[in-house]
Structure 1
Amino acid sequence: MDRQRRLLVTGAGGFLGWTLCPLAARDWQVWGTYHRQPLKIPQTRLLRVDLTDPDQLQACFDQVRPDAVLHLAALSRPNDCELNPDYSYQVNVAASWRLADLCGAAGIPLVFTSSELVFDGRNPPYTETSPVCPLNRYGEHKVLAELGMGDRYPLATIARMPLMFGVASPQSESFLQPFLRQLRAGQPLRLFTDEIRMPVSAIVAASGLLLLLNHPGELFNLGGRDRLSRYDFGQLLTDVFNLSPALLSPCLQADVPMAAPRARDLTLDSSKAFALGYDPPTVRSQLAQLTSFSSMSDTPFP
């Protein structure tokens, strides 16, 4: 009897990996890596791995013997990357290159989550062929990872991800959780009117990533269909979760000092992925799907 195909998911403790692993378990035997605190994910075997340590990464591959890899792990907060560039490079670039080497040697599918922040937000909409032009260190490191992985393993698949939200894992929140805490506490929430994104929920993003395992060596945008400012998103959030819109305070990027420069308009053209069957619903409906998780920290799967 043939063994079930094994999928290795790096960054399983993040809110995207936390959501993706049980979805993937419908078709795969799922193995996930985490970095620090142990956790449990339904239908997932978990390993503690420091991806910046080549020996630990090799040992992980030797133990799991994966048939495919989804590389989600990252230092993903741009301000953290700006303040800790060496560590960002080790996590976001060097570890990604090593994974490309390992997957290339094994000849297995590899999907890497890059970012819309490879663009500067000045010439939208962005397609897969648009020239990259990052504004901050996080974006720069994602570009280096993309290029190096492609050189090392031409069959690696790159997925440029939009702003994502969803249910928190035990180790990682999306931006939605602090927004909800602040609003539920009756505190004003300042949101940019001049930052445009195309957000999707973790569930939608996970469905797209799993779809891309069958498309080696390609580059895809996995943006949503709604083009929203942060303030627009806040208005939807208060409406869907029955919170006071009066607490929303519009502001501009220039009003909030930040370590990492921010792109203004990251409108992604994701028609290439749509043609494969990637089909994000409206942001309103994605938010409505999350209202059943009252604490917004419960696992979305039994």
Structure 2
Amino acid sequence: MSVLSALRSSKLITWKPTGKLQQTLGGSVERKGISLHSGKVSTVRLCPGFAGQGRWFEFRNSLVPASVEFAQVSPLCTTLCKDGVRIRTVEHLLSALEGFGVDNCRIQIENLDDQGDDAEIPIFDGSAREWVAALEEVGLEIATDADGKSCEKIAPHVNEPVHVWRNDSFVAAFPSEMVRVTYGINFPQASAIGCQWFSTTPFDDLVYSMQIALSRTFCIYEEVEQMRNAGLIKGGSLENAIVCSASKGWLNPPLRFSDEPCRHKILDLIGDLSLFAQFGNQGLPVAHIVAYKGGHALHLDLARRLMGMT
């Protein structure tokens, strides 16, 4: 069976050659840090993968593919779940892998102070900067299969406009010759954030590392207690998020960009849509993706819609 015939597809997309070969890491690299929601310390080791295998997580001898088929929306993050094993807060790491073109990768996770069936990816400073630094540390190389053969990378092209929405929030994909992302957010309760829009194209590893990866997760100060009462952000601090007060503005400036919150939404979007990837091919659809007040749930809804799962 050819790769094209094995790919799960729909009438909304067509898989086309990119003119590039699938890539993987030039070596293994490890990072350790505190997780945002559980507050636990975990170690993540990124290892090279064979061509055609894609990206997957390995935790307690269980394998969880980085695929939308196993994605669940959790409060304030994206979770992968398979056979009772859950990998939480995967979006920043997967965003870096997709943005940098790491098509095949084995991701080993070790919880240092927890024996449960849940794992969570470290938050670091709330951006993807640490993951980008790790990828730059080992570099990329052409991926080969078990027989030493390389594999051409193909990408999903959107054939017709498609959108998903809830109330006044939406994520849409329009046919385009290149990847372009336009994102809008609106936080009227926090005037320091307010309404922001950011758009970027062309999309490559340089644009990603300089314009997107540095942007940190953010929250409204007045909502922190509510989130902690819900069992979330146990590991949250002013060191791993930018916090905005409705009355006082930003509590831990300076921002890295004036529109850093909006850019972080694009970082999340790329991580969530990376779950569209199959067999080591591109996950981010070749389309003009336009989102307004979106989030993990809508990002995944779009991926499922494009794949014909809904």
Tell me whether the two structures share a fold, i.e. TM-score over 0.5. no
TM-score (norm 1): 0.28
Query: Which protein has the bigger helix share?
Result: 1
Query: Which protein has the bigger strand share?
Result: 2
Q: Which has the higher contact order (CA 8 A, sep 6+)?
A: 2
